[in-house]
Structure 1
Amino acid sequence: MGRAASSYAGGIALQVSRRTLRTLLALPAVALGAAASLVVARDRHRWVVGCGSGVGEGALPLALAAQARGDDVAWVVRTDRDAADAAAHGIRTVRGWGAFVATLRAGVVVITHGFGDVSRAGVHGAYLVHLWHGIPLKHLHRDAPGWLRIAGVPDVAPVRRLLREAHRRSASRIRLLPVASERAASRMRSALGLGAETVRVLGDARVDVLARGDEPAVRAAATALLDRSGALGRATVLYAPTWRDGKPDPAVPTADEWQRIAAWLEAHDARLVVRSHPHGLGDYAAGAATSDRIGLLGHDRLADVTPALPGVDLLVTDFSSIAYDAATLDIPTLLLAPDVAAYAASRGLYDAYATFSGGRHERTWDALLAWASDVAEPGAARDERLAHARVLVADHVTAFGGSTQRVLQAIDAALGHGEPPAEPSAPASVVAAWRDGERLRLRIDAGATTPVAVRLRGARETIAGELAVGETIEASVPLTRSRWGGPRLVLPSDAYVVEVLDVSGARIELAPPASLPKPELALDARIAIEPREASLAVVLAPPLTDAERAPGAQRALQRRHLGSPEPQRAVMLEAFYGTAASCNPAGIDHALATIAPDVVRAWSTVDGSVPIPEGTVRAVEGTEAWWRIRGGARALVVNDWLRKRHRRMTHQKVVQTWHGTPLKRLALERGGQSLRTRIASRLEGRRWDVLLAQNPFAAEHLRAAYAFRGDVWQLGYPRGDVLQTGDRAAIRARLGVPADVRVALYAPTWRDDRIAVVDHVDVAALATRLGDGWRVVVRGHARSHAGGGLELHGEGVVDATTYPDVAELLVAADVLVTDYSSVMFDAAGLELPTVFAVPDLDDYRDRLRGFTFDLAELAPGPFARTLDEVEDAVLAAGPGDGWDERRRAWRERFAPLDDGHAGERVVQRMLAEGIL
């Protein structure tokens, strides 16, 4: 079994399913090993050690320390190279059957990546030490998406329960997992489901060598390791990208970029050492062929890169935890991450990327080289990078140096010999925590620290608080906020970590109070305060009662309120699965308020953070009130698929408004769909009574996509009514855009192969190029913006991803920049100049989705594949730009009825047909 697949479950999210499958297949051998362990005695002086990346990591110093004091240490190897490396350190090696026997007899088993590092079948009953391979930034194991899914295996509840139990049993065998800080400990406990008695702040033996990094001998040894790359130069730049789950590094330089990199190295008398991840892909050989100042230091030349770090002068990485290691040596680190949005969303990050990067990263090598030129010389740029390194260390490393001996001492104490090592305590503590109206309040004993700021950090947003310093320190952070001039509402459901900062911007660790308030229902949310990440977290969730959250409660509510519901003259409206009160349902709601004010209008929302129109009723999904109105309403108005719990009521009609004219192929019109998906699409179409279409073209394709047999109403799109009635000046004021400034609205659609905001256009760079007379307003798609990860910062950039109504943004815009989004058809109602930013046109059209018509033939604006082309097209857009006739034809074809009265027509039709 190869090392990359040998882990019991942890570490790399998209490899979890493969490892899980192999773990399950190994269960018979594990059972036999467990039986054998009942009759084979273990000896606490016998150690078996293994490492998933060769002879190195924290396993090596720990093995050498145990061997130096007289313990019998055996290293499990699978290759001759590893055997030779172990022999060079004087460590005995075992493999195959010998590895099983040695593991079975060992009192202490040490692994770095998973049980497969040693002999999986022999670990039962040993004192198992798991030395993790870095401070976690990326979500791991249970925190990672898809950790309970296996390709080809049905994703159903019984399978998930089986896998969850298998993982729990595996993780429960770990007796000690040392980490560098309480913050790292919190993440590992969450990822592996382990307790504080197992995950302990003892430091990372792997980086003990870095605690001596300023010694000339250490730097000389490190430089010799870097010399293995063959690269020549006085100063060393290390490029160490992380692994992208089997995909190539998107930052692999082109031939021209290699030439410019070589020229930069020549100018600075430097060398570039490329250290790809041990499991990574990417062709860097072209760089070494370009210049003798570029060399490769792959796993074949150096198993563990950590001892080489003291010889590095500048680090370039993306999401790798090597940034934390380099920070302990005051090595300036530059971030090169062209795929930050996609990666952060698909993997998940424990820290916002802006926090990890210090608020800056580059997407191209040219931009990175310019940044490197500034940082290479003494000055503000270098000082900023060094200051950020110190913040990273303060945030994530509290036990540094001497970790090997602390871990050894902890093992001895657990086995009944000696005293346990001292572990660092939090420098400050929370004396009390409570909710005070719309705010969370904390009383803090700061000890020797000096707090200067406090904030709440969630996965998608950070909320600033207030700090009052007197005889005691009190922190106060809001649990509600107002967006875009709307009402104050509770923050979206999430876990928000309380971060108290010192003057350097580092987070101060906080010990939790002796007692915490019980979870409560308030502010339209369920609020709980919990210890988390060396601090506290306020966990906000939908306001379901304990009874509504209990096992089986939702099925019971469904039976009660959908079994024999009492009809109500009410309509339930839902947009984008309850994440917004917008789109066509909002346009219909607006018309209902005027035409049929006696009809109760209830909005289905995921939680209390979603703004709903004045005069409507909120129904949070899963509450008893939601089930009651879901069953009793005369009409359900939705713009996407219905919930899987939907049941057709005899008194009830479903009005499916959909959310745009389809350019991309949907459902049954898409090629390569599984039988399961095709059946689901047909069943979904049969749930609808009425389908609303913006135009005849949409009517034809939506009917075909869902095999819909009911009435199709071609009445225009209610979501476009505001295009004719919206107050441009008021909308711009809410956006903070001056009246004399032009607006380019960037509104891309989502991608099936990613959940992040699409970032094909560098919005900050575009705003800079357009100049002071422009603002770039960015609107992420409803299906992607929750993924986070995109840093929409920069002079002249307005992040309007959370703005309630994209149609209002069209009213405020002078130019629309989009790709394949149906917003192009809404813009037709204004004949708004449109630029199509389509660098991935061929891939999207030919692989991901397919088109319902030839966009190039009919498009009302130019195609742009590069930032230069987008800039030129935006500046040229407007009357007389050569696209006027195309825009008129586009409006006649796709928005003939978007005249500001579509909502009225839909409501009148609902009344006329007795739906209401």
Structure 2
Amino acid sequence: MNTSRFHFASGNLAKLLAIPKYALSWVLAFFVPRASERWVFGSGVGVGEGALALARQLRRDRPDAPIAWLVATDAERDLAAAEGFTPIRRASRHGYWATLRAGTLVVTHGLGDVNRFGVFGGAVVQLWHGAPLKRIHLDSPVTTAVRGPAIVRGLLKRMYERGTKQVSLYIAGSVTAAERLRSAFRVAPGKVLVLGDPRDDALARQALEPALAAAARDTVAAALEAQGAPAIAQREKLVLYAPTWRDGAPDPAIPTPAEVAGLNEALAATGSRLVIRSHPLGEGEYGAAAGPRIHLFGSELARDITPLLGAFDAVITDFSSIAVDFSLLERPILWFAPDLDEYSRTRGLYEALEVTAATPIERTWAGVSELLTGVLTEATPAKRESVRAARALAARFHPHRDGNSAARVLAAIDRLGLPAAELVPPGGVFFESFYGRQVSCNPLAIDREIASREPGLARYWSVTSESQRVPAGATPLLVGGREWFAARRGAKLVVVNDWLRYSFRRAAGQTVLQTWHGTMLKHLALGRPNVSLRTRLAIRRESRRWSLMLSQNPHSTEQFRRSYAFDGEIIETGYPRDDRLARADLGGSRNPIDAQTARLALGVPDGKLVLAYAPTWRDRGTSVVDDLDVNALAAELGDDWVVVARGHTRTHAFGGYLRVDPRVIDASTHPDINDVILAADLVVTDYSSLMFDAAVAGVPLAFFVPDLASYRDSERGFTFDFEALAPGPLLERREQVVARARELSEQGNAAGWIAEHRDRYAAWRATFTPHDDGRAAARVVDRLTELGAL
């Protein structure tokens, strides 16, 4: 099969040349009203994919809904008409007008599935076309490929980013797929909902009802026999080979005559047929392989292969999302990628293919032939292993297996038009910690205190992923979603520990408590060196959004006044997040029950000493900070120690700590940093505010600061004389850290080790933790109650 080839480079050039059309359409959209009852659908494969499943659901639920399908060919026109839709040429003026007037636009591949110039101001729903295995859109270097100067490439990238903002709702089949879509399209988490993929509805039903899978087999068999294939016996097995598109490049897996002969032998031995399905956008010259047992099944026979996957006993693929779809059936999947290394390097994968597959990756057709014999034979280890891997893949990518994803998506689209008060009732408390990346810190401690006093009060938590757990009785809301905006706007009390974003404006009668997230050693906000006028204005605008601030100590109170020009009330009462630490301090030692609980939560083996390494982030950093080299540190400390590494929340996007040594535990995304502190025999940091929290619990501190001079004099600077007051040794080399840790283990208890720094440690606690007695959260909520914020 040979299809027309598409290249990103040529498509991107056309996009740049069309800028005047985009600009004119953007203006026109202000004057042309959209009709909320009108729907426009389109798909890169024609009439198919999840768009077709959703349109059919819409037709069943609302028979009178005007549905237009934008087409590119006469064949697509006929298919749309047969479904009862109104076919309109995508590139025509009628296609432009239909897109410009429709209230809802549904696409699977991109805005070009409809008339891309008419999308401005419409409610665009992006279904995508499978779970992303290979990197897509802005995550892939090939997406914005175009030759030319940097200014041209930059303009193209901005056009792509602007296009993603035209989409009102992205649909994902799973949390894993959702996180990849959020990354690829650079959109807020709340713009992507995990509702199941409508394109898999028919397949999910086939998994539940074998008769439907048998009907799919009959459809495939009839189509092949109509093309001249020998009649397919009921006992024969069908195997699908579906390679992915290679960005316009030729398919490297075309089999040689010798490989075809080997395939035929394997197929004959197992009583099987091989059905080859090249990607509709790709180029695959598989005609020479066709024969009595090998058949071509191109898009001319079925535009959409997913609803027919139940016909097949096994699937062979490389990087195609068909593997994820097929896993619903829990049947064998064979992974064949002769160009795995090159493809991984140039296009990129979201994870190593070996991780996705959980089975070996074949590189040759000979290997595939051998594997086929195993997986197509009943009760063989190869088949059992392949089925196990398919089930594991389905568990990751298919939380919804009822075949009703289209109905869920339709309900979500209806919610796009609801007013905020109907999405989330006004009132309650809205919590956010570290921009929703964690459910932690002072907001979490305050939440617990409020919940204990007002169990019936509505509580909403800002999160960035469906995998995050919120306190019992609270409602998680994805950042940037309509419900998230509604809850934040309508809450009586908003509790945050970092900046408010998305042009927040405090409503009348609303209280905003800014708890911040640590006593500052380093300068922040207006106190930072060389702050631009634009940043200064942004800082002052931000602090005017707050009603109250929370402070741990007098030093913080003074710094907040200066750094944020904040003249409102500051509640100086200690840190609620440290209440647990304060209660664990028994006056020079930690409660052993608290320490053991924390160690169990982190997975620390019994009998091991714990060195916790928790550096802060760097302003220009693009990776987790590992100046200490945690793996080398663990090796040098030896078997008596475990290194627990905790990266700053602002480095989470760069990944965690590579765990080479088994004595390293990466706790960067562990939900409670207090576990790290309470489990530690020694806390090593650089300039992180963790140093103040650790002091509340009386944990020994050491400071690994090889860049002390540059950080102090050039990058951030300090708000006090850190070198004179530090309650532990300032170290510059890893061997010094190792030596200090060994001193601690030889002392046998923290009190003896701290003796060297006893006076400075005591002064540090008196200065920076004078209110941290385990009752800070109660005092904060008392004050909020007095102010009528609850």
Q: Shorter chain as normaliser: what TM range?
A: 0.5 to 0.7
Q: Does 1:196 align with 2:189?
A: yes
CA distance in 2: counterparts of 1:526 and 1:543, whole angstroms = 14
Q: Say whether 1:36 aligns with 2:38.
A: no
Structure 2: runs of 5+ lacking an equivalent: 425-436, 443-466, 473-595, 605-611, 614-628, 660-668, 677-682, 691-704, 717-731, 736-790
Q: What is residue 264 of structure 2 aligned with on the other side?
A: 262
Query: Do residues 116 (structure 1) and 90 (structure 2) align?
Result: no
Q: Which amino acid aligns with 2:40?
A: V
Q: C-alpha root-mean-square deviation of aligned residues, in Å?
A: 4.6
Partner residue of 2:247? 245
Deviation (angstroms), 1:396: 2.2
Query: 1:790-809 counterparts in 2 under 5 A?
Result: none
Q: What pairs with 1:49-64 in structure 2 (closer than 5 Å)?
A: 49-64=41-56
Output the CA distance in 1 between the equivalents of 2:288 and 2:70: 35
- Could you say which residue in structure 2 is the equivalent of 1:669? none
Q: Which residue of 2 aligns with 1:395?
A: 396
Give the deviation of 1:302 after TM superposition: 1.1
2:167 matched residue in structure 1? 174
> How much does 1:545 deviate?
10
CA-to-aligned-CA distance 1:732-789 (integer Å, 9 cap, x gap) = xxxxxxxxxxxxxxxxxxxxxxxxxxxxxxxxxxxxxxxxxxxxxxxxxxxxxxxxxx
Q: Which amino acid aligns with 2:328?
A: T
Q: Contact between 2:9 and 2:146, CA under 8 Å: does it hold in 1?
A: yes
Deviations 1:420-468 (A, max 9, x none): 79xxxxxxx987699xxxxxxxx998999xxxxxxxxxxxxxxxxxxx9
**Other-structure match for 1:688:** none
Equivalent in the alignment of 1:298: 298
2: distance between equivalents of 1:131 and 1:544?
48
CA distance in 2, matches of 1:110, 1:516: 46
Q: How far off is 1:306 after superposition?
A: 0.2
* Equivalent residue runs for 1:387-536 within 5 Å: 387-400=388-401, 401-416=403-418, 473-475=601-603, 480-482=630-632, 495-496=654-655
Structure-2 separation of matches of 1:171 and 1:39:
23
Distance 1:410 1:108 in 2: 12
Structure 1: gaps of 5 or more residues: 7-14, 422-428, 435-442, 449-467, 501-509, 529-541, 555-607, 612-916
| 1:645-689, Cα deviation, whole Å (9 max, x unpaired) | xxxxxxxxxxxxxxxxxxxxxxxxxxxxxxxxxxxxxxxxxxxxx
User: Residues 333 and 108 from structure 1, CA distance in 2 versus in 1: closer, same or farther, beyond 3 angstroms?
Assistant: same
Q: Which has the higher strand share?
A: 1
Is the Cα–Cα contact under 8 Å of residues 175 and 198 in structure 1 kept in the other structure? Answer: yes
Q: Structure 2 CA distance, aligned partners of 1:372 and 1:208?
A: 28
Match of 1:425 in 2: none
Conserved? CA contact 2:251–2:283, under 8 Å: yes
Work out which of the residue numbers 217, 220, 223 in structure 2 matches 1:226. 220
Deviation at 1:523, TM superposition (A): 7.7
Q: CA deviation at 1:170?
A: 1.1
**What secondary structure does 1:481 align onto?**
helix
> Using a 3 Å threshold, how does the CA distance of structure 1 residues 392 and 36 change in structure 2: closer, same or farther?
same
Describe the SS at the equivalent of 2:190: coil
1:310-329 matches, within 5 Å, as 310-329=310-329
Rounded to whole Å, the distance in 2 between the matches of 1:18 and 1:553 is 44
Amino acid at match of 1:473: A
Tell me, yes or no, if structure 1 residue 46 matches structure 2 residue 38. Answer: yes
Work out whether residues 269 and 373 of structure 2, in 8 Å CA contact, stay in contact via their aligned partners in 1: no
- Between Structure 1 and Structure 2, the one with more helix by share is 2
Is the Cα–Cα contact under 8 Å of residues 359 and 389 in structure 2 kept in the other structure?
A: no
Distance of 2:96 and 2:270 partners within structure 1: 52
TM-score of the two chains, using structure 1 as the length reference: 0.47
Q: In 2, distance between residues paired with 1:172 and 1:483? A: 45
Q: How far apart are residue 20 of structure 1 and its match?
A: 2.8
Mapping of residues 554-633 of structure 1, within 5 Å? none
State the TM-score, normalizing by the size of structure 2.
0.55
Q: Distance in 1 between matches of 2:365 and 2:597?
A: 45
Distance in 2 of aligned mates of 1:274 and 1:304? 14
CA distance in 2, matches of 1:610, 1:279: 54
Contact 1:49 1:73 in 2 (8 A): yes
| Structure 1 residues 166 and 469: alpha-carbon distance in aligned structure 2, compared to 1, 3 A threshold | same
The residue that corresponds to 2:57 in the other structure is: 65
Aligned counterparts of 1:387 and 1:161: Cα–Cα separation in 2: 45
Change (3 A) 1:203 1:390: same
Q: Give 1:485 deviation, angstroms.
A: 8.0
Structure 2 letter corresponding to 1:176: L
Question: Residue 281 of structure 1: CA displacement?
Answer: 1.5
Question: What amino acid is aligned across from residue 199 of structure 1 in structure 2?
Answer: V
Residue 145 in 1 paired to residue 273 in 2? Answer: no
Taking the TM superposition and a 5 Å limit, the aligned residue runs for 1:897-912 are none
Q: How far is 1:108 from its partner?
A: 0.3
> SS of 1:408's equivalent?
helix
Q: Deviations over 1:594-624 (max 9, x none)?
A: xxxxxxxxxxxxxx9999xxxxxxxxxxxxx
SS for the counterpart of 1:175 is strand
TM-superposed deviation, 1:64: 1.6
Separation of aligned partners in 2, 1:34 and 1:360: 50
Rate the CA distance shift 1:274–1:417 in 2: closer, same or farther, 3 A. Answer: farther
Deviation of 1:213 (Å): 0.8
* C-alpha displacement of 1:484: 13
SS of residue matched to 2:251: coil
Check whether the contact 1:47–1:107 (CA below 8 A) recurs between aligned residues: yes
Per the alignment, do residues 511 and 177 of structure 1 end up closer, same or farther by CA in structure 2, a change over 3 Å counting? farther
In 1, the alpha carbon distance for the partners of 2:672 and 2:80 equals: 47
CA distance in 2, matches of 1:87, 1:498: 55
Cross-structure match for 2:769: none
- Structure 2 distance, partners of 1:226, 1:610, is 65
What is the alpha-carbon distance in structure 1 between the residues aligned to residue 171 and residue 674 of structure 2?
A: 27
Name the aligned partner's letter for residue 382 of structure 1. K
- 1:333 corresponds in structure 2 to 333
Write the deviation string for residues 190-235 of structure 1: whole angstroms up to 9, x where unpaired.
1111112211111111101112114244223311342223445411
Question: Do the aligned partners of 1:526 and 1:544 also contact (CA within 8 Å) in 2?
Answer: no
Does 2:104 align with 1:104? Answer: no
Paired residue type of 1:224: D
Q: What residue in structure 1 maps to residue 662 of structure 2?
A: none
Q: Are 2:91 and 1:89 equivalent residues in the alignment? A: no
Distance 1:499 1:329 in 2: 35
Aligned to 2:519: none
